Amino acid sequence: MTGSIFESEKIKEDFPLLEREVNGKPIVYLDSAATSQKPIEVIDRMTDYYKQINANVHRGAYHIAELATSEMEETRTKVSRFINASSEKEIVFTKNATEAINLVAYTWARTQLNEGDVILLSSLEHHSNIVPWQQLSSERNIEIRWIPITQDGQLDLSSMDELLADVKLLCVSAVSNALGTINPVKQLTDAAHQVGAICLVDACQSVPHFKTDVAELGADFLAFSGHKMCGPTGVGVLWGRLDLLEKMPPFLGGGEMILNVTSDGFTTNEVPWKFEAGTPPIAEIIGLGVAVSYLEKIGMEAIREHEQNLTSYALDLLNDRFGDDLIIHGPGAAVERSGVISFSYRDIHPHDISQVLDQYGVCVRAGHHCCKPLMALLGVNATARASLYIYNDESDIKVLADAINEVGKIFS
C-alpha cells in the first residue's frame, strides 16, 4: 500500500547513513523523533559552502561574502514560505528549538507577564517547553497550570474554561514527541485568544512531518529545530508574529543585532536580526534551506500519508504479534498520531530493550524522552520509542518486531 504513493526505497537511497551496518546488521533507524538522518544533498551543500563561499555574512562587501549572505537570507524566505509566514522578517534563526522557546521566555514573557498571571501548558510538553516557564515562574511568582490528559494520552479539554482563567500564555506542542499525539492546536489557540492569551506552539514534531501553516494554527509564536527535518544540527527557528517581534526587547546582545553602539548605549537592529546576535550558524542555515527544498520536493502531504500508513501498519503488526505483552502508549488510531510509537514490553526496562535491539541494528530511544511530567502521569519511568520518517518502510517494522521478540527471550 504505502509503496504505491511513495517510493521509500528510492528515498532511502538519498540517505547515506542508512547504508551502514551496525553489529553486522543493516541499520534500521527508528529514532527520527530525536534527530532525523540527512539526505546527501543537504550534506553536499554544506560541504560546498565550506569549499566555495565560506565567509562571514552581512558585513562583507566582497564576492563570496555576498554569496554567503544572500544564500542565508534566501533560506529565510524559503522557511517563511514553508510555514506560510507573512514575511521573512518573522523568521529568527536560533541554535535549536530550545533557544527559540527561551528567547520568547526571556524577551516577550519577561516584559509581559507578572505575578498573578498564568501560563497554561499541556501535560504532553517536552522539557524545552516546560523548564523555561518554570524558571520564569519561580522568578516572578507566575502560576503554571497543566492541561490534563486522558487515558490514551490525548489532551483532556473538558474543563478548558476553568483552566483558561487568568491565562496570559498558552504553550502547547503540535505533536507530542513522547506519544505521537496530534494536539488540537487550532481549537486551543482559539480558546486562548478568546481570553486574550498569546499562544506558543512547539512544532518540533510537526514541521518535519505535516504541512504547517502558522495562520491556520492560530499561533503567535512557533518553534522548531532543523535537525529533525533533514537539516543539520546547530540551527533552529523561531517564527513570531511581526508586531510581537517588533515590540520585544532584544535577547542576546552583540554583533549583528545592533544598529548603533556608543559608549552610552545601543540601538537595536531591525527584526529579525535584532534577535540574531553574533555570527549565525551560516552553513547550518544554508543546509536547512536545502532540507526544506528536499521536503517540498517530496511533498508534505505525501510524507504525512506515507507515515500514517506505515504507523497503521506498525500498530497492527505489533499488536497482533505481541498482544498484551506489548503496550503502545498514546492514541489508538494512526490518524490521531504521528509516526512516534512509544511502548512498554512486559516489565522489561526500555534501556534493556533498546540495548538488545541495537544488537540487531535497530535504533530506538529508551527513556523519558524529555517528558518527565508526562511519564509520571502515565505511571512509567521510561518507555521505548520507535519513531518513523520518510525513509522507513514496512521491512523496518518487521525487523523491529523480530528484534523485540529476541528481547523477550533474554529477559524471560
Partner 1 sequence: MPGLEDLYKEIILDHYKNPRNQGELSVPPAIMEEGFNPLCGDEVKVYVLTDGDLIKDIRIDGQGCSISQASASMMAESVIDKTLEEAKNLIERFKEMMSVHESNMDSEELSEDNDENSLGDLQALKGVVKYPVRIKCATLGWNTFDQIITPGE
Ligand X SMILES: Cc1ncc(COP(=O)(O)O)c(C=O)c1O
Contacts to ligand X from residues 58-97, by CB under 6 A: 96-97
Which residues 6+ apart lie within 8 Å of 108 measured at CB?
Answer: 198, 221, 240, 244, 248
Nearer to a second copy, 4 or 62 (CB): 62
Pick the binder of a second copy from 184, 299, 373, 408 (CB under 8 A).
373
370 in active site:
yes
Contacts to ligand X from residues 354-383, by CB under 6 A: 370
Distance CA 268, CA 253 (A): 9
Torsion angles phi and psi, residue 145, rounded to 5: -120, 150
**DSSP conformational letter for 89:** G
Does 205 participate in binding ligand X (rule CB under 6 A)?
yes
Does 366 participate in binding partner 1 (rule CB under 8 A)?
yes
Contacts to partner 1 from residues 34-63, by CB under 8 A: 58-61
The three three-digit cell numbers of residue 186, written as one number: 487550532
Query: What number of CA atoms fall less than 13 Å from residue 34's CA on the CB side?
Result: 15
Pick the binder of partner 1 from 35, 54, 112, 359 (CB under 8 A).
359
**DSSP conformational letter for 105:** I
Query: Could you count the other beta carbons within 10 Å of the beta carbon of residue 232?
Result: 22
Distance CA 59, CA 392 (A): 43
Distance CA 33, CA 228 (A): 7
Which residues 6+ apart lie within 8 Å of 356 measured at CB?
Answer: 403, 406, 407, 410
Does 344 participate in binding partner 1 (rule CB under 8 A)?
no
Q: How far is the CB of 97 from ligand X (least distance, A)?
A: 4
Does 278 participate in binding ligand X (rule CB under 6 A)?
yes
Does 173 participate in binding ligand X (rule CB under 6 A)?
yes
Sheet of strand 221-225, all strands in order from the earlier edge strand to the far edge: 91-94, 236-240, 221-225, 198-202, 167-173, 118-122, 143-147
Closest CA to 275 of 242, 258, 254, 250: 250
Nearer to ligand X, 202 or 220 (CB): 202
Does 279 participate in binding partner 1 (rule CB under 8 A)?
no
Contacts to partner 1 from residues 62-101, by CB under 8 A: 65-66, 69-70
Closest CA to 76 of 216, 299, 226, 265: 226
Does 132 participate in binding a second copy (rule CB under 8 A)?
yes
**DSSP conformational letter for 225:** E
Helices marked H in 264-349 — which ranges?
Answer: 282-298, 300-322
Closest CA to 272 of 304, 301, 240: 240
Does 247 participate in binding a second copy (rule CB under 8 A)?
no
Nearer to partner 1, 52 or 267 (CB): 267
Does 362 participate in binding a second copy (rule CB under 8 A)?
yes
Does 95 participate in binding a second copy (rule CB under 8 A)?
yes
- The site map against ligand X for 209-248 (x = CB under 6 A) is ----------------x----------x------------
Distance CA 226, CA 93 (A): 10
Nearer to a second copy, 27 or 179 (CB): 27
**DSSP conformational letter for 183:** P
- Catalytic: which of 171, 199, 204, 370? 370
Pick the binder of a second copy from 5, 59, 114, 335 (CB under 8 A).
59
The three three-digit cell numbers of residue 217, written as one number: 494554527
Residue 363 contacts which entry, a second copy, ligand X, partner 1, none (Cβ below 5-8 A, type-dependent): a second copy
| Beta-strand relationship, 362-363 and 28-29 | parallel
Candidates 79-87, 122-130, 334-342, 391-399 — which segment interacts with a second copy by CB under 8 A? 122-130
Q: How far is the CB of 110 from a second copy (least distance, A)?
A: 10
Please give the residue ranges that form the binding site for partner 1 (CB under 8 A).
Answer: 23, 58-61, 65-66, 69-70, 258-260, 267, 269, 273, 349-352, 355-356, 359, 366-368, 372, 375, 381-382, 406, 409-411
The contact set with ligand X (CB under 6 A) reads 96-98, 126, 128-129, 173, 177, 202, 204-205, 225, 236, 255, 278-279, 370
Catalytic residues: 370
